[in-house]
Amino acid sequence: MAVIGNKKYSKQIEHHFSKYPDKRSAVMPLLYIAQEEYGWVNDDGIQEVAELCELDPTHVKSIAGFYTMYSEKSKGKYWLQVCTDLSCALRGADEFHKDLKAYLEVEEGGTTDDDLFTVEHVMCLAACDNAPMLQCNFHYMENLDMEKMKAWVEEKRAELQKELDA
Amino acid sequence: MVTPVKEDTELVTINIDGKDYQVPKGGNLVDMAKWVAGNDIPVFCYHPKMDPVGMCRMCLIELGGVARDRATGDIQYNDDGTPQIRWFPKLQTACTQTVNDGMYIKTNTEQVKEGRESVIEFLLTSHPLDCPICDKGGECPLQNLTMAHGNGVSRMYFDDKMHLNKHYPLGDLIYLDRERCIQCARCIRFQDEIVGDDVLAFHERGRRLQIITNSDPGFDTYFSGNTTDICPVGALTTGDFRFGARPWELTEVPSISPWDAAGENISLSTRLDRDFGGKAMIKRVMPRQNEYVNEIWISDKTRFGHHFTRSDNRLSKIQIRKGSNFSESTWDSTFKAVAKTLKEANGSVAAIAGGSATNEDLYELAQLVTGLGGDKLGAWSPTHTGADLVAQVGLPEGSNLGELGAGDAILVIASDLEEEVPMWRLRLKTAQDRGAYLVVANGRNTRLEELATEDPNIKGRVVDGAAIRYEAGSAAAVMANLKKSNKDIAKKLADANHLVIVAGAEGLTLEGHRALVQSAANFLIDSGHAGKVNSGLLVPLPGANGMGLHYMGFSPETTQDIAANPPKVLIVLNAEILDDDPTAKTWLSQVDTVITLGYFMDAIARESKFVLPVQTFAERDGSFTNGERRVQRFYTAQGPMGDAIPAWKAVGNIAQAADLGRAKLSAAAVMVAIAKNVAAFEGITYKVLARTERQFPDVGGDDKYYGGNAYQNTGGIGKQIALSGTAKSEKVTVPDALKAGKGEIVLLPTTRLYDRSHMFIPTVMVRSRVSLPFVHLNPKDAKALKLADGDYAEVNYDGGSVRVRAVVSDDVSVGAAVFPRKLTEKATPLVPTVGTITKVTEPAQIEG
Ligand code: SF4
Ligand code: FES
Ligand code: FES
C-alpha cells in the first residue's frame, strides 16, 4: 500500500495539516505515518511525505535522518524494542533480551528471515514497573517472560502462514 | 569601485584590537575587519556572499561594547575618563555580528588563540588528513587555517577515525568525499540562497552528519561547480579536474567565458601537459572575481565547456577545395590565393561573423570587406537584434546588477535566461531575493518564472514577483501594450527606483524582436529610467561578443540582406550557418565562393573553397564586449592547435596580400586601431582593460579562507562603454504573428544551454545531460495532431525534417510548438517558422 490515497491515514493526515499554517510543518507526524505504513522510513515514504508537505524530498530525508525515532533501515513487520536500562535489567530484562534474540535466531538489530521480527534494545521507556517490557511498533507489551513471548511469536507466525496459504 | 561604503552610507566606529575604525553601519564584522583593518578573522562556514550561520565556531573573538547604565542608558566611564567596556564572558562568533557603534573586539588574545586552536583540533578529530592526494591540497582553507592557527600535533588516535565514502557522486559532475567534509553547509546554502534550487541537505547528526541529495533530478543545476570553489576543504571536487593536477603546478591565466553575453571572468588553470603534446593545456576553469559581471560565480557550461578547444575535431590545417576534395596548404600561399579571389569579386564581397569572434577579429574583417569595396557585414545568428538600442538605453557605466534590490524592478520577457545567459538569471534571481520585483513574461513556463513566483510560504522568503503568460509569438505586442493589458504590473515597473528589462527573442522573428526591443526601450524612456545607473535594457545576444558585432558594424538585418542578395564572395567567420539554419543552403548556393574561418569542419566549411583554421579564446589574446557593453580582455592560455592562427591575423594578412595595408602584429595593436576608428572604443587600450581594483567582498590578498581558489582578479575588470546616442520613444509596428494553415503548426525555436553544437559536444562529461531532441506541445495542439506525451513525431519544416520525441503539457501556450535548436545533428529551424508534425508509429530511432 501507500500513504497517499490510503483511507487508513487520510483522516489523520487531514488532522495534522489542520494544526499548522503551512503544510511543511506537518512533516514530522507524517513521517511517523510513513514509518507505520512501511515499518521504516523508506524512499517511497519519503517521496510521499515530500509530495504531501510540498517539500523537496532531500529535506524530508534530512529530517528523517536527524531524529533517531525515525528508522531508516528496513525492519520486520514487528519492531521489538526491548528496554534493557537499569531498572528493567534488575528485573531480568537483559536476560529476556538475550533469550528473545536466541529464540528468534537474530543478532542485535537484526530481522528474522521471514521478515516478521526485528529486535533491538533501547533505553528507558518509562515503564520500569512492568519490566521486562518492550515496545512493539510503538505499542507497549509489559510484564513479559519468554513463555508469553514465545506464544505471541508463534501466533504471529501462524497468522503469516495463514496469509501465505490464502 | 565596488565597495561597502557608498556616499550615503552611515558610518559607525568600532574598535579592533585597540584601534578605532570607521565602518559602514550594518556590515558584517568579519567582512569589515578585513576591509578596513586587514584583519583576517578565520572562518569556515561564513561566506560573504551568503547569510551567516555560526556553525563552525572558527571565527571566535572577544566581543565587548561600551557599558551603559541599565536604568538611564548613560555611558559609564572609568576613573580616567575613558568609557567602560563590558566584555562578554565567553568568546563570540564574529561572523554572526553586525557592526554597531561602540563595538569592541579583540582578535589577538590568548583566549582567542586557544579558541581557534581548539576548533581546528575539533575539526581534525576525524579528518582523513589525506592532503597528499587531495585536489584541494595547496589551496585549501582547512590546510591554511591549520597551519596558521592549529596546534601542529594531533592528540587523536588515527585508528579511531571514521571511514566513509570517499567517492560519492553528488550528481554527474560533482563528487563528495564524506571523510573530508567539515559540515560548514556552504554547499547547501549556495544551492538554497544563490541558485534557488534547494537540493542539498544534511542527513543524520553529530559525528555521522553527511551531505545528501534525495531529489530528482539531484544535484544538477547549471551552477553546481561553484560549490567546489567555496567548499573550504577537498570534500567537493569536479569530475573534470579531480586527480588531474596539483594546484601549485598550475599557471593561472585570466580569461573570459566564450559562451554568452554575460562575459563571466574566468581564470584558466594551465600546465604543460603530456596529454597535449607537452604544450600548455587547460586543466580547469575557475571563476575570477568581477563584482560587476559574475561576482565570484560561473556557470557549469563555462567551467566544463573548455574541451572543444582541444577536440580532435578542431580544424588544425588549412583546407583548400580542389573539385570535390580538400587539400592542405600553407598560410602564405593561402593569403595570396584568398586575396586574389576577393579582388576578382569586384566589390561583391560580404561577411557574416558569429558571436565568438573577438572585437579585434571583427574590426579587421570589417576593414577587409570595406577595403575591397563591399559594405555588407552580417551578424550571426539573425535571431536577435537590438544591439543598437542597448548601446543607447542599456545599463550606463558604473551599473551593477548586484546592486539591484528592494525598490527596484526587473522584467524578463521572451527569454529563458537560465538556458540563454545563466549568470544573468542567477544575478537577477538574487536581486529578487534582496527585494527587487521580478516579472517574467513568456509564452511558456521557464525556470526563472518558477523562481519569480514561488510560494513564499514554502521557501520562507519574501518573493515579490509576477508572471505574464502570453500567446506564443506575441511578446512584442505584450510589451508594446503593457500599460494597458497589465496595468498593475506596468505601474510597478515604471515606479521602481531602478528598472532593468531583459528582452529576449524567443518565439519572435527578427522583425518581431526589433519591435519588442524598441517597445522595451520606449518603456524605459517613458518611465524615465533610460540613462539611469542600474537601469536599462539587456538583450541576450547569442555568443560572447554580440555587442562587439554591433560596434564593429555587423548587424543581423544585414545578414538577412546578404541572404536576399547573395554576393559573389562570402567570408564566414565563426558562424555555423548551415548547421544552424536549414534554409541557408538555398541562398548559399548562389554564392560563388565561400571563405570560412572557423574552429571545425562544419557544414559551411565543407561547402567552402577556402577553410582557414583560427584559434579559440584559449590560445590567443583578444577581447569581447559583453551584453552590458563591458569590453574585457583575455590572455593566451593554451598551446596552439595545428596551424590555427587568430582570425584578426588571418584576415589582416589577407588584406595585406590584397594590398590593403600592412597586417597588424599583435592583438593589442588592433585594439589601438579600434580605439582610433570606432568612436565607442575611444580611450580603450589593453592596458586600460587590464586595470584592476579592490573589490568588496575582498576575496583576494593573502587571507586564508576564501582566497585560496584563484578568485582574485589580476587580469583586469574591463571597461564599460558609455551609452551613446539619444534613443527616443518611437512608434512601434508590431508585425503579425506567424499563422499556421490547416494541418500546420508554428514551430518556435528555443535555446538550450547544453546542446549538440560543435563547440559543446566535445565536453563528454556533460553529454548525458544534453536533452534528447523533443518538440513541446500544448495538450490541445497535441490532440489535434493525435499525439500523446512520449510519442515519436516527425517534424517537417522548410529545409528539412527530423524525428524527435513529443512532450505534451500545458507548460506551453496553445497554437505553437516549442522546438529547441541544436539538439540534433541536422539543422532545425533557426527562427519561428510554419511546419508540420506527424506521429511516427513504427518504433523509430530518434535523432540526437
Ligand atoms: S561538502 Fe564542503 S561545502 Fe559542503 S558542508 Fe562539507 S565542507 Fe562544507
Ligand atoms: S528502565 Fe526499562 S522502562 Fe525504565
Ligand atoms: S561560526 Fe563563524 S565562520 Fe563559522
Report whether residue A131 contacts ligand 2, using a CB cutoff of 6 Å: yes
What is the architecture, at CATH level 2, of domain B11-119?
Roll (3.10)
At residue B316, the pLDDT reads 94
Query: Which has the closest alpha carbon to A31: A50, A17, A14, A58?
Result: A50
Q: Which CATH number applies to B387-538?
A: 3.40.228.10
Which chain B positions have a beta carbon within 8 Å of A55's beta carbon? 458
What is the architecture, at CATH level 2, of domain A78-165?
3-Layer(aba) Sandwich (3.40)
The values of phi and psi at residue A137, to 5°, are 45, 45
Residues within a 6 A CB radius of ligand 1: B 181-187, 211, 231-233, 235-236
Give the 3-state secondary structure of residue B812.
strand
Q: Compute, in angstroms, the gap from residue B233 CA to the centroid of ligand 3.
A: 15
B290: its cell numbers: 568581477
Domain with CATH 3.30.70.20 in chain B: 125-238
The model's pLDDT over B690-703, given as tens digits with 9 standing for 90+, comes to 999 989 888 876 66
The DSSP 8-state label assigned to residue B290 in this structure reads B
What is the pLDDT confidence band of residue B707, given thresholds at 50, 70 and 90?
Answer: low
**pLDDT of residue B844 exceeding 70:** no
The model's pLDDT over B298-336, given as tens digits with 9 standing for 90+, comes to 999 999 999 999 999 999 999 999 999 999 999 999 999
Least-confidence region, from A10-19, B6-15, B58-67, B378-387:
B6-15
Residue B624: HSE in the Cβ half-sphere, 13 Å Cα cutoff: 32
Burial level of B631, CB count in 10 A (0-12/13-18/19+)?
A: buried
Whole-Å CA distances, A106 to A57, A74, A97, A103, A147: 33, 15, 11, 8, 18
At residue B269, the pLDDT reads 95
B420: its cell numbers: 540563454
* Complex ipTM: 0.83
What is the pLDDT confidence band of residue B455, given thresholds at 50, 70 and 90?
Answer: low
The model's pLDDT over B145-190, given as tens digits with 9 standing for 90+, comes to 999 999 888 888 888 888 999 999 998 899 999 999 999 999 999 9
User: Is CATH 3.30.70.20 correct for B125-238?
Assistant: yes
The H or E element that residue B284 is part of is strand B280-287
pTM of the model: 0.92
**pLDDT of residue A47 exceeding 60:** yes
**pLDDT of residue B20 exceeding 90:** yes
Rounded to an integer, what distance in angstroms lies between the CA atom of residue A166 and that of residue A160?
A: 10
Residue B512: HSE in the Cβ half-sphere, 13 Å Cα cutoff: 23
**pLDDT of residue B724 exceeding 60:** yes
Residue bearing cell 528471515:
A113
Query: Which has the closest alpha carbon to B567: B593, B589, B591?
Result: B591
CB within 8 Å of chain B, chain A residues 61-90? 61-62, 65-66
What is the pLDDT confidence band of residue B823, given thresholds at 50, 70 and 90?
Answer: very high
At residue A68, the pLDDT reads 84
Rounded to an integer, what distance in angstroms lies between the CA atom of residue B534 and that of residue B536?
A: 7
Spatial neighbors of B811 by CB under 8 A, at least 6 apart, are: B444, B445, B776
Strands (DSSP E) contained in B362-446 are 376-379, 409-413, 437-442
Share of chain B above pLDDT 90, in %: 84
At residue B460, the pLDDT reads 47
B410: its cell numbers: 526587473
Hey, how many other C-beta atoms are within 10 angstroms of the C-beta on B662? Answer: 9
A46/B214 Cβ within 8 A: yes
Query: Which has the closest alpha carbon to A33: A54, A11, A55?
Result: A11
B830: its cell numbers: 533557426
Q: In this structure, are residues B155 and B122 in contact, taking their beta carbons and an 8 Å threshold? A: no
Q: In this structure, are residues B432 and B438 in contact, taking their beta carbons and an 8 Å threshold? A: yes
Interface test with B, best of A22, A62, A67 (most B CBs within 10 A): A62
CB within 8 Å of chain B, chain A residues 4-63? 21-22, 24, 43, 46, 54-62
B213/A55 Cβ within 8 A: no
B634: its cell numbers: 583575455
Q: Which CATH number applies to B745-840?
A: 2.40.40.20
Q: Compute, in angstroms, the gap from residue A114 CA to the centroid of ligand 2.
A: 29
Q: In this structure, are residues B432 and B404 in contact, taking their beta carbons and an 8 Å threshold? A: no
Mean pLDDT of B505-509: 95
Residue B422: HSE in the Cβ half-sphere, 13 Å Cα cutoff: 21
Spatial neighbors of A53 by CB under 8 A, at least 6 apart, are: A23, A24, A26, A27, A30, A60
B205/A56 Cβ within 8 A: no
Residue type, B601: M
Cis-peptide into B773, omega within 30 deg: no
Which residue has the CA at smallest separation from atom 7 of ligand 1? B181
Query: Which has the closest alpha carbon to B309: B655, B49, B590, B599?
Result: B599
User: Is CATH 1.10.3720.10 correct for A7-66?
Assistant: no
B202/A58 Cβ within 8 A: no
What is the pLDDT confidence band of residue B456, given thresholds at 50, 70 and 90?
Answer: very low
Residues within a 6 A CB radius of ligand 3: B 43-46, 54-59, 93, 95
At residue B194, the pLDDT reads 93
Q: In this structure, are residues B820 and B784 in contact, taking their beta carbons and an 8 Å threshold? A: no
A56/B215 Cβ within 8 A: yes
What is the pLDDT confidence band of residue B738, given thresholds at 50, 70 and 90?
Answer: confident
Hey, how many other C-beta atoms are within 10 angstroms of the C-beta on B630? Answer: 25
**B349-353 and B569-573 beta bridge pairing:** parallel
Residue bearing cell 597535449:
B276
Rounded to an integer, what distance in angstroms lies between the CA atom of residue A31 and that of residue B220?
A: 27
Q: In this structure, are residues B279 and B639 in contact, taking their beta carbons and an 8 Å threshold? A: yes
Domain with CATH 2.40.40.20 in chain B: 745-840
Report whether residue A85 contacts ligand 2, using a CB cutoff of 6 Å: yes
What is the pLDDT confidence band of residue B705, given thresholds at 50, 70 and 90?
Answer: low
Query: Which has the closest alpha carbon to B207: B177, B168, B162?
Result: B162
Mean pLDDT of A70-83: 90
Q: In this structure, are residues B517 and B539 in contact, taking their beta carbons and an 8 Å threshold? A: yes
Q: DSSP readout, B606-648?
A: HT-SEEEEB--GGGS-EEEE-TT-EEEEE---SPP-TT-B-HH
Give the 3-state secondary structure of residue B228.
helix
Domain with CATH 3.10.20.740 in chain B: 11-119
The model's pLDDT over B191-238, given as tens digits with 9 standing for 90+, comes to 999 998 889 999 998 888 999 998 877 788 899 999 999 999 999 999
Which chain A positions have a beta carbon within 8 Å of B201's beta carbon? 58-59, 61-62
**pLDDT of residue A79 exceeding 80:** yes
Domain extents in chain A = 7-66, 78-165
The model's pLDDT over A95-125, given as tens digits with 9 standing for 90+, comes to 999 999 999 999 999 999 998 999 999 999 9
> Ligand 1: which of B236, B705, B706, B709 to mutate, judged by most atoms within 8 Å of the beta carbon?
B236
Residue type, B739: K
Rounded to an integer, what distance in angstroms lies between the CA atom of residue A24 and that of residue A60?
A: 9
**pLDDT of residue B338 exceeding 90:** yes
Interface test with B, best of A56, A61, A68 (most B CBs within 10 A): A56
Rounded to an integer, what distance in angstroms lies between the CA atom of residue B785 and that of residue B808?
A: 11
Rounded to an integer, what distance in angstroms lies between the CA atom of residue B247 and that of residue A60?
A: 38
